[in-house]
Amino acid sequence: MNRQVLIKAENLTFKYGTEPPVLRNISLEIARGECVAVIGQNGAGKTTLAKHFNGMLKPVSGKVYVGGRDTERLKVSVLARTVGYVFQNPDHQIFHDTVGKEVAFGLKNFDLPGKVIEERVTAALETVGLTAHHATYPFNLSKGQRQRVALASVLAMQTEVIVLDEPTTGQDYRESMQIMNLVKKLNQNGHTVIFITHDMALVAEFAQRAIVLCNGEILADGGVRSIFSRPELLKETFLKPPQITALAQSLNRYAIPPDVLKVKEMYELLKARGEEIGCFS
């Protein structure tokens, strides 16, 4: 299958006014069907980069292409058909008085018949588990639920690319897993997903590729296994691999590989290793 590039940045540099650049010389390609995590410490430029993917921000120099089109001359409302963006704080994007109206809002610009809009809203609310809240005032919901309203609004637009800025911040464990499993399902259904997070265990479990930002530059860009196998590199942007990966790296002399990502995977490896030397019950 041909690799079809959906998002491409070429020497992207961005700054606010006369301040030093927030992004410097970023070049990357994201292809259809990828699930990419953007990681790095606070202030590394993650959100600023993501906002270039739907045209909310335009490069000061360099180029960003979405679906082959230069974002320079494209409005956010046009790019919104290709790239959906879920903000970190759902309260920054929710402004209608019912959940249903909120989710329908983005579709109003799509010239769709009312019936189709209603179908899409119903389907999106069902996907995020908020069917019962169609007529609820969004601010009567919990923050976790509002985060899912924001996600439903983007799902209803059925965009090829979905960008999520820290979708699990402020969520409890179960809510985080619900959101990430939903993201996984979207990716399996063919959507290209880009998510920003500080939770390395989520990166290990849900992303295939990680882009590591540090002070506005790309420090590394590659498969999650190879990125997490380089703890000294992560340290430069004050990150650490997940606990289980760090444990694997400390067990180097027992022939445990340094790129273990999941607890179950580690368990299977240890079981095999233990059975070999006859010490695992």
Partner 1 sequence: MTLLKIENLTFSYPQSIQPALKNINLAIKKGSFTGITGPTGAGKSTLAYCLNGIIPHFQGGKLGGQINLRGDSLFTLGTAQISRVVGSVFQDPDAQIISADVEQEVAFGPENLGVPPEEIEQRIAEALYLTGISGLRRRPTTVLSGGQKQRLAIAAALAVLPEILLLDEPTSELDPAGTEEIFQVLKKLNREHGITIIIIEQKTEQLATHADRIVVLNEGAVVMDDHPRQVFSKQQTLEAVGVRIPQVAGLAGMIGVNDRTPLPLTVEQAHRFIERILRR
**Looking up tokens 């919104």, which residue turns up?**
80
Give the phi and the psi of residue 18 in degrees, each rounded to 5. -100, 5
* Site track for partner 1 across 157-196, x = CB under 8 A: ------------xxxxxxx---------------------
- Compute the least distance from the CB of residue 254 to partner 1, in Å: 6
- Compute the least distance from the CB of residue 175 to partner 1, in Å: 7
Contact range with partner 1 by CB under 8 A, out of 74-82, 112-120, 220-228, 242-250: 242-250
Contact range with partner 1 by CB under 8 A, out of 16-24, 113-121, 130-138, 263-271: 263-271
* Residue 147 interacting with partner 1 (CB under 8 A): no
* Residue 200 interacting with partner 1 (CB under 8 A): yes
Is the Cα dihedral 215, 220, 221, 225 positive or negative? Answer: negative
Between the alpha carbon of residue 78 and those of residues 84, 153, 155, the distances in Å are 11, 16, 16
Q: Which residues lie below 8 Å from residue 158, measured CB to CB, with a gap of 6+? A: 120
Q: How many residues bind partner 1 (CB under 8 A)?
A: 38
- Compute the least distance from the CB of residue 102 to partner 1, in Å: 21
Q: What angle do CA 124, 130, 132 make, to 5 degrees?
A: 120
Between the alpha carbon of residue 164 and those of residues 132, 148, 194, 197, 234, the distances in Å are 24, 11, 6, 9, 22
- Compute the least distance from the CB of residue 237 to partner 1, in Å: 9
CB nearer partner 1, residue 83 or residue 213: 213
* Residue 16 interacting with partner 1 (CB under 8 A): no
Out of 43, 129, 222, 223, the only residue in the binding site for partner 1 (CB under 8 A) is 43
Closest CA to 145 of 124, 121, 122, 128: 128
Closest CA to 55 of 7, 11, 19, 88: 7
Q: In 3-state terms, what secondary structure has residue 253?
A: helix
Tokens of 186: 């979207």
Contact range with partner 1 by CB under 8 A, out of 56-64, 112-120, 140-148, 150-158: 140-148
* Residue 215 interacting with partner 1 (CB under 8 A): no
* Residue 280 interacting with partner 1 (CB under 8 A): yes
CA 217 to CA 21: how far, in whole Å? 10
Q: Are 100 and 121 in contact (CB under 8 A)?
A: yes
Q: In 3-state terms, what secondary structure has residue 129?
A: coil
Give the phi and the psi of residue 276 in degrees, each rounded to 5. -55, -45
* Residue 242 interacting with partner 1 (CB under 8 A): yes
* Residue 79 interacting with partner 1 (CB under 8 A): no
CB nearer partner 1, residue 134 or residue 198: 198
* β 61-66/5-14 pair status: antiparallel
- Compute the least distance from the CB of residue 52 to partner 1, in Å: 21
Contact range with partner 1 by CB under 8 A, out of 7-15, 67-75, 187-195, 237-245: 237-245
Q: In 3-state terms, what secondary structure has residue 161?
A: strand
Binding footprint of partner 1 on the chain (CB under 8 A): 41-43, 142-144, 169-175, 198, 200-201, 238-240, 242-244, 246-247, 250-251, 254, 263-264, 266-267, 270, 273-274, 277, 279-281
